[in-house]
Amino acid sequence: MDSLYKIGELSKETGATIDTIRFYQDKGLLTPEKRSSSGYRYYNSSAPHILNFIQSAKDLGFTLIEIKELLEIQISKKGKCSLALGKIKEKEANIDKKILELKKIKKALARVSEKCESTSGESQCHFLELLTGESNG
């Protein structure tokens, strides 16, 4: 039988805090193998791998909902690449969209920055007025 980890041992093994482990459990990403009569959670030997999977997927920008779907592919669908590929392509498209949005924001800020740099440092900032909804003229 696999060795079981108490939540504190799992925390030490992986570096994830106990609160994080409980949070992932509440979100359905990690399930204890069993609970003792006194309420202690015991996790099986795959738990550290699952926590590493979650952290790696988070580092790649996947949401917890997406991570749950990826875990389902990994566990119940035998890790079929064709299923994971759809999720990966979807994430790539979302990132491309965010990059375009960020480039638009950067361009707008550069225009504002140029305007601020070309005016007297002591004049009133029209950008700040715009953000607050005020206009003085």
- Listing DSSP states for 5-46 in one string gives EEHHHHHHHH---HHHHHHHHHTTS---SEE-TT--EEE-TT
Structure tokens at 98: 């965010």
**pLDDT tens profile 73-109:** 888 777 788 888 999 999 999 999 999 999 999 998 8
**pLDDT tens profile 46-67:** 999 999 999 999 999 999 999 9
**Side chain identity, residue 116:** C
Read off the DSSP letter of residue 123.
S
pTM assigned to the model: 0.74
Enumerate the H helices of 45-80 as residue ranges. Answer: 47-59, 64-75
**pLDDT tens profile 8-29:** 999 999 999 999 999 999 999 9
CB-facing half-sphere around the CA of 45: CA atoms within 13 A = 3
Given phi > 0 = left and psi -120 to 50 = alpha, else beta, which region is 79?
A: left
The DSSP bridge pattern shows strands 41-43 and 5-6 to be antiparallel
